[in-house]
Each structure stands twice: as C-alpha cells, then as structure tokens.
C-alpha cells in the first residue's frame, strides 16, 4: 500500500498531485497536428463510426452520478457551443425515478469512473430499451458500462483509489471537451475557437502543475476554516460545475456542510444566509460571466459576506472589495478548460480540511468508491 502511495500520505493527495500526468495520459494519441499547415484535430478511435449519428441526434443527454455527473455538467456548455445540439443533464437515479423520456433519436452519454455504478447501469439499460445510441465514458476498461454501450471513450486516468474522485474528474472533463471537438464540425466559423482549445489542451498539464503550487496556501486556508460548520461555493457558466464539485469534495471527505450555488440564483434564497460569519467562496475567473461575478461579489460584500474569491492571475484588485477578502489566484486558460484548473485548489482545500479535522481522507464515513447497489 505504502509503495503505491509513493511519498504521499494518502491516495487522495497522490491523485490530486498526479493530475498533470493523468491528464497527459488521457490526451495521449488523441490530439493531432495535421500536415504542413499544422491544422489541429481530435481523434477518438472508439467513436469514429458513430460521429455522424451523434451529430444528427435530436439531443445529447448526459447521465451519471456524483462527481461524474458534475464533470458532464462542466463540459455541457462547450458541447452545446461546438455541436449546436441541445444537451440535457440527468442524474441517473432521477431519470429512473421519473422514467423520463429517452428517444431513438437521442444520444445518451453515460459518464462513470468505475463503470459499475448501479443507478448509471440501470439508466443505461433503460436508454438501450428506448433505442437511444449509448456512449460510455469510463475509467475502467471492461467495466459493465464500457461493455454494454454501443461505443465510447476510456478516460485513461489510471487507477483511482481514494473514494473521493479527483483525477478522474479532471480527465473526464478533458475527454468530454475532446468529445465536443469531435462532434462539433470543422466549420470556418469555429476554427479559431477549436484551435485555441486544442492549444489549451496541449498546455493544460503545465497549467495544472502551476495551480498545484497553491498547496500550502490551501493548507493555510483550511486552518482558517477548520472549525466552520458550513461553506458556500458560488459559481456560474463553465464554473457552476466547479462550485458543486468543490462543495461535494468538502462535504464528502471533510464532513463539513457545503453547498455549491449557481450565482445567478443568489437572490432567490442563498442571499438570506449571508452574514459576517459564513465563509463563501466565489469563483470569478475571466470568462464571459466575469462582470456578473464582480457584481455578485459587490452584493455579497454589501451584506458583509466573508469572502474568499478565486480569480485569474493578476486580477486581485479587480475582484477584491476590501482587505479582509481572501484571494486565490489561478492561471487563466481557455474558458471551457478553466474548470479543470479551478477545481484543483478546492480539491486541495478539501484534502487539508479533512486531515486537519482528523478524518479518514481515503475512506470517508459511510461512503463507497463504487455504489453497486440501489
Ligand atoms: C460514489 C463515489 C464518487 C463517484 C460516484 C459515481 O459516490 O464515492 O466518487 O463520483 O460514486 O461513481 P462512478 O464510478 O459512476 O463515477
């Protein structure tokens, strides 16, 4: 066991820190520069015979549980943008509870680290029965979901041992961004965007290496938050998923109540919770939602909110309303890849909070790595 952990104390810690390598493995052989003009493309072998059908589908439905669902949520905007196909989200158990409509003209994408989660598997059976094209995105070759879907993509993040998913999450996002590139046609209008994303993917492991340097800073923040009862995380757009995934990490391992909140919904309830005691993380890195997040920060500040703002490098002055506001500066990347960067400080925070609070990092109370019963 000790050997597998290398010089790390816990699997979760090791898996957080090996993300530059796991992301590299996920992308290996899948991003290509073609010909003398170096035009760039994506090759997902497991999908090549089905891309036409996926492009023609009436909608794409992402289905998963827990962190895998959150990863799909992070990739949804870029898939919509590049493919033009409507993308809807289903938590597997909820789809089954409602027996929600799934049609022959749908592409159902099943996202699962283990490939064995009972609810996701049952939802797969349901989608197959309804005639949808079923695509699997899993980290486990030969898993039930990999075997029973029509086609798919392996995440290739390497074995993940910690119950709380970390490196599989970032690799899942990268796979789904590549999926968006593969499905979205090579039109002239989106050429520049596609190339920027591919360049961003090539550079992503380096940027993750950079953001991992925040380890000590996140440990210091964890010390400050150690005795708190609750932590809110506000995000929107590409980083709504980051907010709910960050909150999920904090609650599942650090056993602290935490809630990810869509910042656009702030006035419809969450604002009532704001006072000078409750810590609030606001994700306000540069993208199309930046100015809206600046205004959210102002409004939280006006209600004396205790703010921790995550912003792009160099943006402290633009986001910080006063000196008591704490800042987490992260490297800026292409907007659809920013969730991969932004989740890392929150993973580190959850990890350090857990260790400082004396809880079991790798096997949190009452949770299992793979939930194979309903
Ligand atoms: C459990 C794990 C989570 C995981 C979820 C879905 O709850 O503790 O880390 O995200 O199952 O698992 P899957 O293997 O389908 O991604």
User: Given ligand 1 and candidates 143, 165, 167, which is best to mutate, with the most ligand atoms within 8 Å of its CB?
Assistant: 165
Which residues sit with their C-beta closer than 6 Å to ligand 1? 65-68, 112-114, 117, 120, 163-165, 367, 369-371
Distances (CA, A) of 373 to 37, 143, 362: 52, 16, 21
Q: Cα–Cα distance between 342 and 246 in angstroms, integer?
A: 9
User: Given ligand 1 and candidates 115, 155, 369, 374, which is best to mutate, with the most ligand atoms within 8 Å of its CB?
Assistant: 369
Distance from Cα 168 to the centre of ligand 1, integer Å: 10
What integer pLDDT is reported at residue 3 of this predicted model?
A: 54
Give the CB-side neighbour count of residue 225, counting CA atoms within 13 A. 32
Please give the mean pLDDT across all residues of the chain: 95
Q: Cα–Cα distance between 169 and 268 in angstroms, integer?
A: 29
Q: Mean pLDDT per 10-residue run, the chain (374 residues)?
A: 79 97 97 76 92 96 98 98 96 98 98 97 98 97 97 96 95 98 84 93 98 98 97 98 98 97 95 95 97 96 96 93 90 98 98 96 88 86
Query: Hey, whose CA ends up nearest to atom 15 of ligand 1?
Result: 112
Query: Hey, whose CA ends up nearest to atom 5 of ligand 1?
Result: 66
ipTM of the complex: 0.96
Q: Cα–Cα distance between 331 and 92 in angstroms, integer?
A: 34
Q: Cα–Cα distance between 344 and 242 in angstroms, integer?
A: 9
Question: Which residues on neighbouring strands pair with residue 253, listed in sequence order?
Answer: none
Structure tokens at 339: 């969730």
Q: Cα–Cα distance between 184 and 161 in angstroms, integer?
A: 34
Tell me which residue has tokens 């209008």.
Answer: 189
Distance from Cα 229 to the centre of ligand 1, integer Å: 25
145 CA closest ligand 1 atom index = 15
Distance from Cα 242 to the centre of ligand 1, integer Å: 16
User: Given ligand 1 and candidates 117, 138, 169, which is best to mutate, with the most ligand atoms within 8 Å of its CB?
Assistant: 117
Q: How many CB atoms lie within 10 A of CB 277?
A: 11
140 CA closest ligand 1 atom index = 14
Distances (CA, A) of 74 to 7, 169, 191, 238, 341: 31, 10, 22, 6, 12
Q: Cα–Cα distance between 360 and 96 in angstroms, integer?
A: 32
Q: Cα–Cα distance between 285 and 310 in angstroms, integer?
A: 6
What integer pLDDT is reported at residue 186 of this predicted model?
A: 74
**Global confidence as pTM:** 0.97
Parallel/antiparallel/unpaired status of strands 31-34 and 39-42: antiparallel
What integer pLDDT is reported at residue 309 of this predicted model?
A: 97
Distance from Cα 247 to the centre of ligand 1, integer Å: 15
CA 313 to chain centre: 21
| Residue closest to 272 by CA, chosen among 226, 244, 232 | 232
User: Given ligand 1 and candidates 64, 67, 74, 249, which is best to mutate, with the most ligand atoms within 8 Å of its CB?
Assistant: 67
Structure tokens at 258: 């935490």
What integer pLDDT is reported at residue 324 of this predicted model?
A: 84
| Residue closest to 73 by CA, chosen among 109, 43, 24, 117 | 109
Q: Cα–Cα distance between 328 and 150 in angstroms, integer?
A: 42
Structure tokens at 94: 């909820």
Distance from Cα 143 to the centre of ligand 1, integer Å: 14
Q: Cα–Cα distance between 219 and 225 in angstroms, integer?
A: 10
Q: How many helices (H) and strands (E) does the chain have?
A: 14, 12
What integer pLDDT is reported at residue 98 of this predicted model?
A: 98
Q: Cα–Cα distance between 175 and 65 in angstroms, integer?
A: 17
Q: Cα–Cα distance between 235 and 280 in angstroms, integer?
A: 11
Q: What is the pLDDT of residues 56-97, one digit of tens each?
A: 999 999 999 999 999 999 999 999 999 999 999 999 999 999
Distance from Cα 146 to the centre of ligand 1, integer Å: 16
User: Given ligand 1 and candidates 370, 373, 374, which is best to mutate, with the most ligand atoms within 8 Å of its CB?
Assistant: 370
Sheet holding 257-262, edge to edge: 257-262, 230-235, 279-284, 306-312, 326-330
Distance from Cα 275 to the centre of ligand 1, integer Å: 33
């Amino acid at each position: 066991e000790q050997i597998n952990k290398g010089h790390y104390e816990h699997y979760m810690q090791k898996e957080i820190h090996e993300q530059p390598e796991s992301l590299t493995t996920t992308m290996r052989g899948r991003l290509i520069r073609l010909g003398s003009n170096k035009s760039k493309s994506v090759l997902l072998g497991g999908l090549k015979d089905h891309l036409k059908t996926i492009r023609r589908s009436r909608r794409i439905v992402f289905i998963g549980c827990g962190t895998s669902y959150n990863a799909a949520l992070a990739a949804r905007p870029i898939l919509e943008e590049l493919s033009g196909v409507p993308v809807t989200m289903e938590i597997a158990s909820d789809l089954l509870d409602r027996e929600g409509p799934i049609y022959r003209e749908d592409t159902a994408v099943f996202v699962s680290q283990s490939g064995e989660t009972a609810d996701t598997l049952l939802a797969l059976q349901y989608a197959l029965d309804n005639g949808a094209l079923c695509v699997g995105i899993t980290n486990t070759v030969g898993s039930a979901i990999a075997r029973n879907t029509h086609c798919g993509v392996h995440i290739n993040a390497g074995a993940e041992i910690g119950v709380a998913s970390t490196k599989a999450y970032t690799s899942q996002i990268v796979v789904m961004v590549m999926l968006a590139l593969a499905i979205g046609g090579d039109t002239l209008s989106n050429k520049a965007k596609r190339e920027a994303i591919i360049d961003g993917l090539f550079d992503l492991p380096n940027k993750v290496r950079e953001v991992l340097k925040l380890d000590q800073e996140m440990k210091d923040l964890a010390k400050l938050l150690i005795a708190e009862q609750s932590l809110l995380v506000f995000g929107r757009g590409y980083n709504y998923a980051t907010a709910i995934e960050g909150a999920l990490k904090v609650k599942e391992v650090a056993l602290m109540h935490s809630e990810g909140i869509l910042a656009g919904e702030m006035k419809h309830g969450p604002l009532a919770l704001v006072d000078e005691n409750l810590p609030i993380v606001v994700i306000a890195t540069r993208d199309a939602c930046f100015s809206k997040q600046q205004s959210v920060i102002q409004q939280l500040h006006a209600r004396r909110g205790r703010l921790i703002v995550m912003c792009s490098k160099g943006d402290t002055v633009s986001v910080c309303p006063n000196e008591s506001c704490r800042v987490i500066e992260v490297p800026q990347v292409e907007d659809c890849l920013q969730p991969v960067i932004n989740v890392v400080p929150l993973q580190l925070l959850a990890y350090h909070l857990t260790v400082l609070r004396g809880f079991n990092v790798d096997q949190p109370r009452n949770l299992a790595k793979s939930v194979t019963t309903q």
